[in-house]
Amino acid sequence: MAFQKDEFPKRRVHNTIPVDKAREKELVFGTQPLTEALRSGTEIDKILILREQNFTEIQQLANERGIPVQRVPMEKLNQITRKNHQGVIAFISAIRYVSLHNILTGIFEKGEIPLLLLLDRITDVRNFGAIARTAECMGVHALVVPMRGAAQINSDALKTSSGALSHIPVCRENSLIEAMQYLQDSGVQVIVCTEKAAQIVSNVDFTTPTAIIMGSEEDGVSSDLIRHSNMAIKIPMAGKVASLNVSVAAGMVIYEAARQRG
């Protein structure tokens, strides 16, 4: 079956199970519970705070740990949970993020050739999970995602990855541009996958230290990342449909890298 949009089909939600109850185990809400969660080191994806409120300590703790904070109206918070959230809700991550520096250092220390996958603004959790599954199966050392504008790594992502997210490290960076520059300074070539490229994927040497960038479902890789990359590549296509689902495209590029590496 072919899908018209670059996403998986929507799943049915049974009316007998309210969405907020099904997701409550992935949330921390209320000022005191969230403050304690932040102090204890609980891995949090992002925090939503009521626009009119000013939770100074929560904001400070979130800033210290590099956790994104978003100001939202009351309606948004009430849609997530009907319980007494006191104007603040946090989403718990299903994984623990790791440092890109530590990952890269560890790869080199083991005498291995780095193969990393940077995901630029991929927001669909099922696309993300599918990419993680393929990446883990094909020997990618780690995924790198931006601090903001990335899919929430929740139970849906973990399920779609078939548990792969429990095995492949995920690095969350403030800036993918800075992460890319760090990788390049460390001797890693950064390759962008975009339909605008002239070079095709099979003509690239993936046997050297490599980081591959895949772009968002809506508009691909950002122009800044393309401009600062070492090379841009594309997947040749013969059909009338001019684009691929990002998880499928990622799988094809990763396979070519793994094939070359034997």
Give pLDDT tens digits for 46-71: 899 999 888 999 999 998 888 889 99
Q: Between the ranges 137-141, 171-175, 213-217, where is the mean pLDDT highest?
A: 137-141
Domains assigned to the chain: 19-92 (3.30.1330.30), 100-261 (3.40.1280.10)
Cα 3 from chain centroid (whole Å): 22
User: What DSSP element (H or E) covers 199?
Assistant: strand 199-200
Question: pLDDT value at position 193?
Answer: 94
Query: 15 pLDDT exceeds 70?
Result: no
Question: pLDDT value at position 3?
Answer: 36
Query: 10 pLDDT exceeds 70?
Result: no
Query: 103 pLDDT exceeds 50?
Result: yes
1 versus 163: which is more confidently predicted? 163
- From residue 141, give the alpha-carbon distance in Å to each of 104, 106, 154, 240: 9, 10, 21, 34
Confidence of residue 23 (pLDDT cuts 50, 70, 90): low
Question: pLDDT value at position 9?
Answer: 41
Query: 87 pLDDT exceeds 90?
Result: yes
4 versus 128: which is more confidently predicted? 128
Residue whose pair of structure tokens reads 């903001």 in the numeric block: 148
Question: pLDDT value at position 16?
Answer: 30
Confidence of residue 149 (pLDDT cuts 50, 70, 90): confident
| CA–CA gap between residue 98 and residue 110 (Å, rounded) | 17
Which pLDDT tens digit goes with each residue over 184-211?
Answer: 999 999 999 988 888 999 999 999 999 9
Query: 142 pLDDT exceeds 50?
Result: yes
Buried b (16+ CB within 10 A) or exposed e, 114-127: bbbbbbbbbebbbb
Cα 36 from chain centroid (whole Å): 26
The torsion angles phi and psi of 78, rounded to 5 degrees, stand at: -70, -25
Q: What is the mean pLDDT of residues 174-183?
A: 95
Q: What is the mean pLDDT of residues 11-22?
A: 39
187 versus 159: which is more confidently predicted? 187
Q: What is the mean pLDDT of residues 81-91?
A: 91
Question: pLDDT value at position 22?
Answer: 47
| H-assigned helices in 95-245 | 100-109, 125-137, 155-160, 176-185, 223-228
Question: pLDDT value at position 40?
Answer: 87
| CA–CA gap between residue 8 and residue 23 (Å, rounded) | 20
Side-chain-facing half-sphere of 247: CA atoms under 13 Å: 19
Which pLDDT tens digit goes with each residue over 27-50?
Answer: 899 999 999 989 988 888 889 999
Query: 95 pLDDT exceeds 80?
Result: yes
Question: pLDDT value at position 6?
Answer: 45
Q: DSSP string covering 24-93, please?
A: GGGEEESHHHHHHHHHHT--EEEEEEETT---HHHHHHHHHHT--EEEE-HHHHHHH-SS--TTEEEEEP
Q: Are 256 and 234 in contact (CB under 8 A)?
A: no
Q: With H, G, I as helix, E, B as strand and everything else as coil, classify residue 214.
A: strand
Q: What is the mean pLDDT of residues 144-155?
A: 86
Query: 119 pLDDT exceeds 90?
Result: yes
